């Protein structure tokens, strides 16, 4: 008498309850890792790993880029960016009294929305009607950073010219907003720069801002040529003519990270004063790729 062949049991179809249980286990694991990460941040703060100002936009940009490069699956990359922006805001607040000031004269409060998007829903914001007021809070130590409108040609006031004086504490541009694209429907469309009382930290892809004072007869094309001759790759140049017609000021964007001691700065000639590094920012990412 022959025995019946063994048959595999029919596959089990996951139930809704079992899948929800799996999600609960995953959520617990994510929560455990978040608590472990917070513990590491606390230890970094205890040894002074971030210095006087617990803000490292370059480091944050590199973390986001690295995660986007390894990201797969149906979860949109821009969601990943948003999750980590909230995480960065929370861990920065663990290390110091984290507060951001915003210059916003937009009727729809677009700059406040942009600041919220970048610095988190729970970060205290103080809104001012002018850039000098916002910068003054950073200088006084009342705010970690200030969000300011992107400089443009022809503006009646230019907040960036104050950074040419290198007053103490030294204020630098450290980030550009928004950090991610493409922009979702309803997202703020304004462009802004972030300044703080700390030198910017480099990432793998940066642009730097150099401020110069020059004779008013020097054209934009001539200035661009001077920048290129010194070894920089110039981008946008904003010119501002002084009312006394004796001087002009320019904000020059260049490729790469430029520190105060960059030897190429000494090669910039035909200026009225030595050039000043006003800061740098990590190039914003596409929300779906690094």
- Is residue 32 situated within a structural domain? no
Instruction: With cut-offs at 50, 70 and 90, classify the pLDDT of residue 1.
Output: low
Q: Using alpha carbons only, how large is the chain's radius of gyration in Å?
A: 24
The tens digit of pLDDT for each residue in 243-255 reads 776 889 999 999 9
pLDDT band of 211, cuts 50, 70, 90: very high
With vertex at residue 175, the alpha carbon angle to CA 256 and CA 240, rounded to the nearest 5 degrees, is 80
d(CA 194, CA 246): 30
On whether residue 16 sits in a domain, the answer given is no
In the chain, the number of structural domains is 1
Residue 267, pLDDT score: 94
Q: How far apart are CA 209 and CA 214, in angstroms?
A: 16
* Predicted TM-score of the model (pTM): 0.91
Q: Is 137 left (phi over 0), alpha (psi -120 to 50) or beta?
A: alpha
For residue 69, count CB atoms less than 10 angstroms from its CB and return exposed for 0-12, middle for 13-18, buried for 19 or more.
exposed
**What confidence tens digit (pLDDT) does each residue in 253-270 have?**
999 999 999 999 999 988
Residue 167 phi/psi, 5-degree rounding, is: -65, 160
Can you give the pLDDT at residue 157? 79
- Using CA atoms, how far residue 122 sits from 6, 90, 116, 209, in Å, is 61, 8, 8, 30
In a domain, 272, yes or no: yes
Name the residue range of residue 160's domain.
52-286
CATH code for the domain of 56:
3.30.70.260
């Amino acid at each position: 008498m022959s025995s019946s062949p063994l048959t595999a049991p029919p596959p089990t179809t996951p139930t809704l309850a079992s899948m929800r249980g799996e999600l609960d286990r995953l959520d617990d694991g994510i929560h455990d890792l978040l608590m472990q990460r917070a513990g590491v941040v606390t230890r970094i703060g205890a040894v002074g790993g971030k210095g006087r100002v617990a803000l490292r936009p370059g480091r944050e940009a590199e973390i986001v880029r690295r995660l986007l490069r390894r990201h797969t699956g149906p979860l949109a990359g821009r969601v990943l960016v948003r999750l980590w922006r909230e995480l960065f805001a929370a861990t920065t607040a663990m290390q110091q009294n984290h507060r951001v000031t915003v210059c916003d004269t937009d009727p729809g409060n677009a700059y406040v929305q942009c600041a919220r998007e970048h610095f988190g829903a729970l970060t205290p914001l103080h809104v001012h009607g002018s850039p000098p007021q916002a910068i003054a809070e950073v200088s006084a130590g009342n705010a970690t950073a200030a969000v300011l409108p992107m400089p443009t040609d022809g503006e009646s006031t230019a907040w960036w010219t104050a950074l040419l004086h290198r007053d103490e504490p030294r204020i630098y541009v450290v980030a550009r907003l928004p950090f991610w694209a493409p922009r979702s429907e309803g997202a703020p469309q304004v462009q802004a720069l972030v300044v703080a009382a700390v030198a910017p930290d480099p990432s793998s892809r940066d642009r730097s801002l150099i401020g110069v004072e020059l004779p008013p007869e020097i054209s934009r094309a001539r200035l661009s040529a001077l920048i290129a001759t010194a070894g920089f790759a110039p981008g946008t140049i904003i010119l501002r003519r002084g009312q006394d017609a004796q001087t002009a000021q320019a904000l020059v964007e260049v490729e790469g990270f430029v520190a105060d001691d960059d030897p190429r700065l000494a090669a910039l000639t035909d200026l009225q004063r030595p050039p000043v590094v006003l800061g740098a920012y990590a190039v914003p990412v596409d929300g779906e790729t690094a």
